[in-house]
Amino acid sequence: MIVKSDKDLLGLTRIGQIVGNTIQEMIAAVKPGITTGELDEIGARALMRHHARSAPILVYKYPGVTCISINDEAAHGIPGDRVVQPGDLVNIDVSAELDGYFADSGASVPVPPVTPASLALLETTRAALDAALDVVRAGEPLSVIGKAVEGIARKGGYRIIRELGGHGVGRGLHEPPRNVPNFYTTRAKERMADGLVLTIEPFLTPGKGKIFTAKDGWTLKTTDGAPAAQFEHTLIITPKRPVLVTKVV
């Protein structure tokens, strides 16, 4: 989607703030003993208060309002009876729609006691997202995103889960560009237009960086059982710094 009017900007900002605040509500409830299903219900109530609809349900008939992935679950974990344990690494990914506009965001959070390894993984993944946000500008190729993410990942000693990346968003959950790689490739040569709406979402792991789909048909897990972390924002490209519509203000 390309933002072409104040109406577009307002619509994206509104759903972006709803998504961002929903994640914050869910993160605040993460503690040992809570189930992923209970966390999902918190997210469902938050979206319902604002009359927003779960995008995974709306678009893919996903069996949950939000995606909640733990430890070696890199993405698309189905909420249910799983109990959050001390030391877990919990990823919450929320995408939603309101008045025809979509936004998508995610964050990983540690459950105390937090190990130095978990803290380092989280800090590096967040730094990778920040590095990408520092370089995205109208007129630049998409490849600058992967170059920035890959530089931070390598410096920290982590691998990128290459099968997962960002994407266009706005009037639909997944729009062109369909894939925004988190690693440098000359194939990502499309130049970002002023007003382009997309997500940036690095996925890092200390393991091999390979994933597979679990038997439930949705959950993506690392093949070696290594933990994964993700941070994500929906943003609007400008000639200067991007507008982060899912950053809570």
Q: How many domains does the chain have?
A: 1
In a domain, 78, yes or no: yes
Measured CA to CA, the distance from residue 206 to residue 160 in angstroms comes to 9
Whole domain around residue 139: which residue ranges? 6-244
Query: How sure is the predictor about 57, in pLDDT bands with cuts at 50, 70 and 90?
Result: very high
For the chain, what is the mean pLDDT?
Answer: 98
pLDDT in tens, 161-197: 999 999 999 999 999 999 999 999 999 999 999 999 9
Q: Residue 4 pLDDT more than 90?
A: yes
pLDDT of residue 128: 98
Helices (H), the chain: 6-29, 36-49, 55-60, 116-135, 143-156
pLDDT in tens, 23-43: 999 999 999 999 999 999 999
For the chain, what is the radius of gyration of the CA atoms?
A: 17
In a domain, 182, yes or no: yes
Work out the average pLDDT over 141-145: 98
Work out the average pLDDT over 127-131: 98
Work out the average pLDDT over 120-137: 98
Q: Residue 140 pLDDT more than 90?
A: yes
pLDDT in tens, 78-121: 999 999 999 999 999 999 999 999 999 999 999 999 999 999 99
Q: Residue 249 pLDDT more than 90?
A: no
Work out the average pLDDT over 52-59: 98
Per-residue exposure over 144-162, b if at least 16 CB sit within 10 Å of its own CB, e if not: bbbbbbbebbeebebbbbb
The residue type found at 59 is: V
Domain CATH for 112: 3.90.230.10
**Residue with the two structure tokens 């490209």:** 237
Residue pair 92/214 in contact by the 8 Å Cβ criterion: no
pLDDT of residue 225: 98
In a domain, 249, yes or no: no
Work out the average pLDDT over 231-237: 98
Closest of 79, 55, 82, 59 to residue 67, by C-alpha? 79
